[in-house]
Amino acid sequence: MEKTELLSKVFEAFANSSDSRYVFLFDVQRNVCRFSKSCADRFKLPGEYVENAGEVWASIVNPADRMRFQKSLQDLIAGNSKVHDMSYRALDKSGEYVVCSCKGFIIDDDEGKPIYFAGTIDNHGIATEYDPVTNLYTRYKLLTDLRDFKDKREDYIILMVGLCNFHEINNIYGYEIGNKVLKVFAEKLLDYLDRAFVFHAGGTKFAIVSSNYTKEEMAKVYKELSDYARHSIEIDNSMVAINLGGSLAEIRNHDIDEHTVLTGELLGLDESMHEKHGELVIFSDANYINNHDRILIINTLRNCINDGCKGFYMCYQPIVNAVTEKLVGAETLVRWNMDPIGNVPPGEFVAWLENDPLFYDLSNWIMRTSMTAVKEKILPVFPDFVLNINLSYMQLERQNFRKDLMRLLEQTGYPPKNLCLELTERCKLLDESFLRNEMIFLKSKGIRVALDDFGTGFSALELLITLPIDAIKIDRSFVMDIENIKEKQYVVDAILACARNMKISSTIEGIETPTMKEIMKNYGATSFQGYLYSKPVEIDEFMELIRK
């Protein structure tokens, strides 16, 4: 076999080893690069063999990253560096920028002249089966395996565990120690490989899935893991004690899809970690809401979203000027009603769905439906009317959020100046610089941004200082029984004075009685919202309120 043919076969062997890792080999003297076929298929390349590959690839690198990329290549060719190792965003054929990590090395001839530049490009936009930190299967593989159980109609048990207050480990010891803790805990999970599959389910969450364990045996596994996390994790000769939360489900209904199972388990895990101090939450016949098992309801919710958001509808609660009490806008709120289940409170189903991939589809439906209704029925009557829509941090971190929001505004013809997006305090979970950039983008398009539930978390004031916020909404918990609690009056007075000084508008939620309204008028809020003016109602009833 000729050397060239052998080299080609070796290249193909490496190129076909992964769908998300691409191989490239650049002939420096001929200025021709060969890419994995999967790379050529994914990105806007003319084929596997590309002339002037540096220029071609640079053209699909995000303009914000392009200068760094080109300088790195120039240093390689000039002999100033032997290694190219960087991350950047590259445009794929669908028109989306995906994060890529590229690492390559210069290969010299006997005289020290560069003849080849070879390496790999990792596409982080494609889910992979192995997590590089823990060396366990990923959440992507977990969903794939749960789907296989469903398709084979095979019963199984899933145990989801989470490390409580892990951010404290990172704060005290640093992220390097935090990663070591994840690795050590992951190694402990391998003890159960003989009868189960183990997964890193994202962040500090792990899953054990088995068709061999009984529910009682899996509960015993959770106790063993809890004891291990509290007493046996040793990092660099120091003991690190961690509490666990856990959720266990026995799946015998083969009509429930894998996303529903995972959403239910994450909900149970959240309950264990934040409400039950690590007590294992077990889904059984006792876990019913409105006489329906929680997982079955989640499954129905997901099916409804897939069916054009069937059963969901929007209600609107008026927001009025605090001085004149005239209508200035409304907050739109989603509701769900489906026979035979009936009404499920949004406070429950939003929490169930928030970590589900389909939540993003529901969120886009909410925005489209609300903007269409307000543009057609309200804006012709009240051209200055402002529609407030809740925005989850899970939506904001999605790669396509900006593009999807702009497309919805264009398709509905809704004016951006009449839109206000309300961020919950949980947006603090996002990187601060990322969050600030998103706020700047929204404001550049004329969209207002409000911080919802202001004051319910310790970092609310920090967000007010660091983010370009237009408005705050004071949570109703601050004004409940405010007539009789002087301390609440002092706090609300201070918050509103701060907002006025910062030129930020303010809305007080939960105005329910005339007495409450009169007290609140003394503190200079911009607007009011609450049952005194109306409960949330559907659009036709809302129009009746306007007419009255």
User: CATH says 309-547 is which class?
Assistant: alpha beta
For 107-140, write each residue's pLDDT tens digit: 888 777 888 888 888 886 665 666 767 778 888 8
Q: pLDDT at position 442, please?
A: 92
The b/e string for 332-357 (b: 16+ C-beta within 10 A; e otherwise) is: bbbbbebeebeebebeebbebbbbbe
For 311-321, write each residue's pLDDT tens digit: 999 999 999 99
- Please check whether residue 273 is in contact with residue 285, taking contact to mean a CB–CB distance below 8 angstroms: no
C-alpha distances out from residue 173 to 114, 168, 170, Å: 43, 8, 5
DSSP for residue 425 = G
Provide the residue ranges of all domains of the chain, joining segments of one domain with +: 3-123, 139-284, 309-547
DSSP for 23-66, please give it.
EEEEETTTTEEEE-HHHHHHBT-SSSEEETHHHHHHHHB-HHHH
Q: Which of 251, 272, 142, 132 is nearest to 201 (CA)?
A: 142
What is the number of other CB atoms lying within 10 angstroms of the CB of residue 299? 20
Q: Residue 37 and residue 46: Cα distance in Å, rounded?
A: 11
- Please check whether residue 83 is in contact with residue 103, taking contact to mean a CB–CB distance below 8 angstroms: yes
Q: Residue 448 and residue 439: Cα distance in Å, rounded?
A: 9
- Cis peptide bond upstream of 46, omega within 30: no
Q: Residue 147 and residue 144: Cα distance in Å, rounded?
A: 5
Compute the half-sphere exposure of residue 370: CA atoms within 13 Å on the CB side of its CA: 29
Residues of the chain short of pLDDT 50, as ranges, are: 1, 284-292, 457-459
CATH code of domain 139-284: 3.30.70.270
* pTM for this predicted structure: 0.59
User: CATH says 3-123 is which class?
Assistant: alpha beta
Cα–Cα–Cα angle for 485, 491, 495, rounded to 5 degrees: 145
DSSP for residue 416 = G
For 298-334, write each residue's pLDDT tens digit: 778 888 888 889 999 999 999 999 999 999 999 999 9
- Angle between the 215-231 and 175-189 helix axes, to the nearest 10 degrees? 140
Q: Which helix (DSSP H) or strand (DSSP E) does residue 156 occupy?
A: strand 156-163
Q: pLDDT at position 327, please?
A: 94
Compute the half-sphere exposure of residue 416: CA atoms within 13 Å on the CB side of its CA: 15
